[in-house]
Amino acid sequence: MTGRTEMRVYDCDAYTVDKSLPTAVVLPTTTDQVAQIVRLCNRLQVPFLPRGAGTGLSGGTTAVCGGVVISTVRLNQILHIDLPNRRMVAQAGCVNIHLTKAVAKDGLHYAPDPSSQGACTVGGNVAENSGGPHTLKYGVTTNHVTGLKMVLPDGEVVELGGEIEDAPGYDLVGLTVGSEGTFGIVTEVTVKLTPLPEAYRTLLGVFETIDDATQTVSDIIAAGILPGALEMIDQLILNAIEDAFHFGFPRDAEAVLIIELDGFEAGLDTDAERVREICKKNNAREVRLAATPEDRARLWMARKKGIGAAGRLAPSIVTQDGVIPRSKLPEVLREIKDISRRYGIRICNIFHAGDGNLHPCILFDERDPDELHRVVEAGEEILKLCIRVGGSITGEHGIGVEKIDAMPLMFTEADIALMEKVRGVFNQNELCNPGKLFPNSKSCVEVKWRPKTAYV
Ligand SMILES: Cc1cc2nc3c(=O)[nH]c(=O)nc-3n(C[C@H](O)[C@H](O)[C@H](O)COP(=O)(O)OP(=O)(O)OC[C@H]3O[C@@H](n4cnc5c(N)ncnc54)[C@H](O)[C@@H]3O)c2cc1C
């Protein structure tokens, strides 16, 4: 594709603040085609970048220097399922949920479950080291990937790792997971399959105040209980979900927690009772237990479609992604409320509370330049706050273009130079996904190729 109109779909991901039109978009169907495209781009010295479903939240797949977007959506086949050894080989463009659907009848699933799992690709998950509600107990993408096939930025095809775990030598799979598309184009992913839990107890805790809800999160973990998932939704977004789906959530509650316990049937009721007591101790108005699988599905639909429902609240949303120690949740949520007040912008919260992984969603209208400016500044202040309390500038959405300027808040010049050296081993001339991750690459791509052409 080279037409301006059809390529507009590719001018950003779910971080809509930075937009830039690519030079071309290609949709290969084989690893060999990807390699040929990459070699051609090298010959012509044209930048190129991988793109999955474009659900990224940090602008990782935005063509900030133009160049060729290599979409993986047609690399969407599950190639091999090895049930006895609990492995699957899938092409990088497979949608996350399709992996689980393919083996659910065998009592297995692919554990990392981003809330976007109905759309995002496993290649995108690898690039971002994505998490999800259930990664509190089961771990993030890197804990579930054992092998990769990848087209290196010079066009060479390599295989890293394989079906066995902990292969000898450097852990190049571990290094590549989370490299945000700057090491090459992943075309195949070997993942672990995890048995489905025997039983679930899914509770909804309803709280009058955010403080009580966040204190409950800390207390549950401190009590030695490890829920499969522990998610928080605040009042603003809860009402948007109600408007969209009419689930019967209490509109006047300041926050709700979705607390899921899973594992063997024996013992689950005891843990559920302990969770209920901790909620009550923290003044929960009500604790509901999902009585049927349908009730449970409704709770998860509310959580996973929550950001979509927030689309009702404003024309544009920036979903921030910081991490903090769980015990700091009450203090940090209070400060975020204060930031919202000081900058005069609405912020709602729906996040992986058990991981301390915040997602303040900043609501605004990108056509208003003044508001856009305040959104960027408020976002930066939230990240500084996360660092101040001992956290980090990203939990699972990556740096992309969004957080380039925040890197020096967390890393020294020497740290960043070392990371750039590692990137250089794979991506020597920076043609592969330029302008991402590092402050230096931002300026150098503007000089090397063409200035960023942001437009609305
Ligand atoms: C509503 C919503 C909810 C979300 N919830 C979560 C959540 O719970 N947890 C979470 O972690 N994230 C979440 N995200 C963020 C996003 O879905 C993830 O980052 C996801 O992994 C991106 O996958 P994608 O296929 O859309 O990748 P894209 O957005 O297309 O790309 C993301 C990055 O990966 C690179 N990339 C893509 N494919 C490849 C490949 N084959 N090889 C190498 N690099 C590649 C791109 O260059 C880019 O840097 C959410 C997003 C939305 C919109």
**If DSSP states are collapsed to H, E and C, what string results for the chain?**
CCCHHHHHHHCCCCCCCCCCCCCEEECCCCHHHHHHHHHHHHHHCCCEEEECCCCCCCCCCCCECECEEEECCCCCCEEEEECCCCEEEEECCCEHHHHHHHHHHHCEECCCCCCCCCCCEHHHHHHHCCCCCCHHHHCCHHHCEEEEEEECCCCCEEEEECCCCCCCCCCHHHHHCCCCCCCCEEEEEEEECEECCCEEEEEEEEECCHHHHHHHHHHHHHCCCCCCEEEEEEHHHHHHHHHHHCCCCCCCCCEEEEEEEEECCCCHHHHHHHHHHHHHHCCCCEEEECCCHHHHHHHHHHHHCHHHHHHHCCCEEEECCEECCHHHHHHHHHHHHHHHHHHCCEEEEEEEHHHCEECEEEEECCCCHHHHHHHHHHHHHHHHHHHHCCCECCCCCCCCCCCHHHHHHHCCHHHHHHHHHHHHHHCCCCCECCCCCCHHHHHHHHHHCCCCCCCC
pLDDT in tens, 207-232: 999 999 999 999 999 999 999 999 99
Q: Which pLDDT score is estimated for 453?
A: 40
Q: Is 227 in the pocket of ligand 1 (CB under 6 A)?
A: no
Q: Which residue has better confidence, 168 or 407? A: 407
How would you label 122-161 residue by residue, b for 16+ Cβ within 10 Å and e otherwise?
bbbbbbbbbbbbbbbbbebbbbbbbbbbbbbbbbebeebb
Q: Which pLDDT score is estimated for 443?
A: 58
Q: What is the mean pLDDT of the chain?
A: 93
Q: Which pLDDT score is estimated for 441?
A: 75
Residue 449 pLDDT exceeds 90:
no
CA of 123 to the centre of ligand 1 (A): 8
Q: What are the two backbone dihedrals, phi and then psi, of residue 366, each rounded to the nearest 5 degrees? A: -70, -10
What's the one-letter identity of residue 229? A
pLDDT in tens, 18-41: 899 999 999 999 999 999 999 999
Please tell me the distance from the alpha carbon of residue 105 to that of residue 321, in angstroms, as a whole number: 34
Q: Is 130 in the pocket of ligand 1 (CB under 6 A)?
A: yes
pLDDT in tens, 234-292: 999 999 999 999 988 999 999 999 999 999 999 999 999 999 999 999 999 999 999 99
Q: Which pLDDT score is estimated for 447?
A: 44
Instruction: Pick the residue whose CA is nearest to atom 5 on ligand 1.
Output: 115
Q: Which pLDDT score is estimated for 442?
A: 64
How is residue 252 written in tokens? 């006047």
Answer whether 218's CB lies under 8 Å from 354's CB: no
Residue 315 pLDDT exceeds 90:
yes
CA of 159 to the centre of ligand 1 (A): 22
Residue 451 pLDDT exceeds 60:
no
Q: End-to-end CA distance of the chain: give it in Å, rounded.
A: 20
CA of 13 to the centre of ligand 1 (A): 9
Q: What are the two backbone dihedrals, phi and then psi, of residue 94, each rounded to the nearest 5 degrees? A: -65, 140
Residue 103 pLDDT exceeds 80:
yes
Banded pLDDT at 101 (limits 50, 70, 90): very high
Q: Which residue has better confidence, 299 or 442? A: 299
Q: What are the two backbone dihedrals, phi and then psi, of residue 333, each rounded to the nearest 5 degrees? A: -60, -35
Q: Which pLDDT score is estimated for 285?
A: 96
Q: Is 433 in the pocket of ligand 1 (CB under 6 A)?
A: yes
Residue 75 pLDDT exceeds 90:
yes
Q: Which pLDDT score is estimated for 318?
A: 92
**What is the rounded average pLDDT of the residues 161-177?**
92
Q: Please give the number of the atom of ligand 1 that sits closest to the Cα of 132.
A: 8
Residue 452 pLDDT exceeds 90:
no
pLDDT in tens, 363-389: 999 899 999 999 999 999 999 999 999
Closest by CA to 321, choosing from 183, 116, 175, is 116
Residue 455 pLDDT exceeds 50:
no
CA of 95 to the centre of ligand 1 (A): 11
CA of 127 to the centre of ligand 1 (A): 7
Q: Is 322 in the pocket of ligand 1 (CB under 6 A)?
A: no
Residue 191 pLDDT exceeds 80:
yes
Q: Please give the number of the atom of ligand 1 that sits closest to the Cα of 92.
A: 41
Q: Is 189 in the pocket of ligand 1 (CB under 6 A)?
A: no
Q: Please give the number of the atom of ligand 1 that sits closest to the Cα of 130.
A: 11
Closest by CA to 49, choosing from 443, 317, 437, 375, is 437
- pTM, entire model: 0.94
Q: Is 14 in the pocket of ligand 1 (CB under 6 A)?
A: yes
Give, for ligand 1, the residue of 94, 130, 177, 182 to mutate: max count of ligand atoms closer than 8 Å to Cβ.
130
**What is the rounded average pLDDT of the residues 83-100?**
98
Residue 454 pLDDT exceeds 50:
no
Instruction: Pick the residue whose CA is nearest to atom 36 on ligand 1.
Output: 124
Give, for ligand 1, the residue of 38, 57, 65 to mutate: max count of ligand atoms closer than 8 Å to Cβ.
57
CA of 288 to the centre of ligand 1 (A): 33
